């Protein structure tokens, strides 16, 4: 089995599949199914997300996972930013209601907070920062945004998080009503990693060339 080259600072298998597909066929000699792994497979710790920006959290996670594993590391941090709330929930999106990962409670609280806000003032964006860090100290971060607005009620049963109440710009559907393929084609995360792709390819190629 080929030795791992790249580790994703996440235990989310969906994110790992996305990354493997993004890199498949992009780097000669890279076996994405064995050389691109997740943090659990690498035996890496879970970094504490204690920075105050998406970029800060993503870079911290990538830096710490790279240091712990000796591999090139990728990380992302993402959330929902509502204009009228000054960018909130922002980095606190996953724990907006006070309990990390309680999607239903987070949505309920956000809908209540914007209950009296008219449609034209419910604009915002999903934001993702994607970062790479190498054992040699190379670091890069890119930001992706999916513009849209907050609906007044849930629609659709796909996706996760705030997807049922977020409607991309120029659409009449919530993100939860998009297929996985449709969502991946426009998502903030896909945009961020696509921007980072040339750096990922260059760093992976260096490692493969030195082996």
Q: Where does residue 25 fall: left (phi above 0), alpha (psi -120 to 50 degrees), or beta otherwise?
A: left
- Gap between the Cα atoms of 128 and 183, Å rounded: 14
11 annotated ligand binder: yes
What are the percentages of helix, strand and coil residues in the chain, rounded to 5? 45, 20, 35
Contact 123, 166 (CB under 8 A): no
The SS3 of residue 162 is coil
145 annotated ligand binder: no
10 annotated ligand binder: yes
184 annotated ligand binder: no
100 annotated ligand binder: no
142 annotated ligand binder: no
122 annotated ligand binder: no
The SS3 of residue 12 is coil
90 annotated ligand binder: no
70 annotated ligand binder: no
188 annotated ligand binder: yes
77 annotated ligand binder: yes
Q: Where does residue 119 fall: left (phi above 0), alpha (psi -120 to 50 degrees), or beta otherwise?
A: alpha
Element (H, E) at 168: strand 166-168
Residue 170: active-site member: no
189 annotated ligand binder: yes
Catalytic residue among 33, 46, 76, 77: 77
Name the residue with tokens 């990728």. 74
- Gap between the Cα atoms of 46 and 148, Å rounded: 31
Cα 14-23-30 angle, rounded to 5 deg: 115
The SS3 of residue 146 is strand
Q: Annotated active-site positions, please? A: 77
What residue numbers does the annotated binding site for Mg(2+) cover?
Answer: 77
Binding site membership: which residues?
10-15, 77-78, 160-163, 183, 188-189
Enumerate the known binding-site residues for substrate.
Answer: 10-15, 78, 160-163, 183, 188-189
């Amino acid at each position: 089995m080929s030795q791992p080259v790249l580790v994703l600072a996440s235990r989310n298998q969906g994110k790992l599949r996305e990354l493997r597909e993004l890199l498949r066929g992009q780097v000669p000699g890279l076996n994405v199914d064995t050389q691109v792994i997740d943090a659990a497979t690498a035996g890496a710790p879970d970094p504490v997300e204690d920075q105050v920006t998406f970029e800060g959290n993503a870079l911290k996670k990538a830096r710490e996972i790279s240091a712990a594993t000796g591999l090139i590391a990728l990380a992302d941090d993402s959330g929902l930013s509502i204009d009228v709330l000054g960018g909130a929930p922002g980095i606190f999106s996953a724990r907006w209601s006070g309990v990390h990962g309680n999607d239903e409670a987070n949505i309920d609280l956000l809908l209540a907070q914007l209950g009296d806000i008219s449609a034209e003032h419910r604009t915002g964006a999903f934001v993702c920062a994607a970062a790479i860090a190498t054992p040699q100290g190379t670091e890069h971060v890119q930001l992706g945004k999916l513009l849209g607005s907050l609906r007044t009620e849930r629609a659709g049963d796909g996706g996760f998080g705030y997807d049922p109440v977020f409607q991309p710009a120029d659409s009449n559907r919530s993100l939860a009503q998009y297929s996985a393929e449709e969502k991946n084609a426009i998502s903030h995360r896909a945009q961020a990693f696509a921007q980072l792709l040339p750096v990922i390819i260059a760093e992976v190629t260096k490692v493969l060339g030195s082996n």
